[in-house]
Amino acid sequence: MNDQKHDKKPDQMAHHPLAYKNEKFLDSDASRALRILAEYLEPLHRFEEQKVPGTVVFFGSARLGPDGPLGRYYAEARELARLFTEWSNNQPPSAPRFLICSGGGHGIMEAANRGAADAGGRNVGLNISLPEEQSANPYITPDLSFEFHYFFMRKLWFAHLARAVVVFPGGFGTIDEMSEILTLSQTRKLEGKMTVILYGEEYWREIINFEALVKHGVISAPDLKLFSFASNPRQALDLLRQGIAPEMQGAPSPYAKTRPSRSDGSYLYQRSGD
């Protein structure tokens, strides 16, 4: 009798889903490392699949619309993105097609994606999920529209593929993004020289006293050469062409680079440090 009692099967067997399909686990603190890694591997896979050789990144405020006080910068960001895309698309077939990339939101970001779309070019949007603010703009190429949870992973992808950066007027977020790129350049964490353009010289000289940083010894005088100013789309386009043209002369795909060891100095991407 006792043996029969012990042999009785439970009415329902305990069941747990496969770990990688367990949404409760994947959303937990224990899986944060997996979520961070996913925001590296999924974009890496898609950029490779879409054969994106590099980007020209536009930073700027999400609050600047075409009809606001600084509305001219929206129109000029759109025009610059259009001009660059047309120039890039007219390069020889062997040259890489660098794509306009923005933070994926509205304002200057929307203007950049919109200008590239005006020229019939593909473009990239690296959107960030925020509680109240940002949604992706409708001008991003659908297969190149990304959504990030972690700001630092989004920043990694801005720097990873960037061949040039154009910084339009903006607030804390724009200044943060600009400072990060300049710091990477200053500390030589980027291979080669990054073309960085501060668009709207009058605005930027009012907002940041760059010469005072040199005066007080917190940066060196040569650091002022890490960036250039531009005040109209044609001037900015000339600076982009000067900085990027050498790389477009048969530049190898970044996906062709391997990294068998740290000693040989090779990286998966040409631009970003480790």
Instruction: Give the model's pLDDT for residue 1.
Output: 54
Q: Where are the domains of the chain?
A: 37-256
- φ, ψ of residue 127 to 5 degrees: the values are -80, 155
Tell me how far CA of residue 21 lies from CA of 27, 193, 239, in angstroms. 11, 43, 48
Residue 265 reports pLDDT greater than 60: no
Rounded alpha-carbon distances, angstroms, from residue 27 to 19, 22, 30, 32, 57: 12, 9, 8, 8, 31
In the chain, the N- to C-terminal Cα span, in Å, equals: 68
| Cβ atoms of 195 and 226 closer than 8 Å | no
User: Residue 31 — very low, low, confident or very high, per pLDDT cuts 50/70/90?
Assistant: confident
Q: How far apart are CA 59 and CA 80, in angstroms?
A: 13
* Full-model pTM: 0.85
**Residue 223: burial class (beta carbons within 10 Å; 0-12, 13-18, 19+):** middle
Q: Which fold has domain 37-256?
A: Rossmann fold (3.40.50)
CB 268 within 8 A of CB 258: yes
Whether residue 126 has pLDDT greater than 50: yes
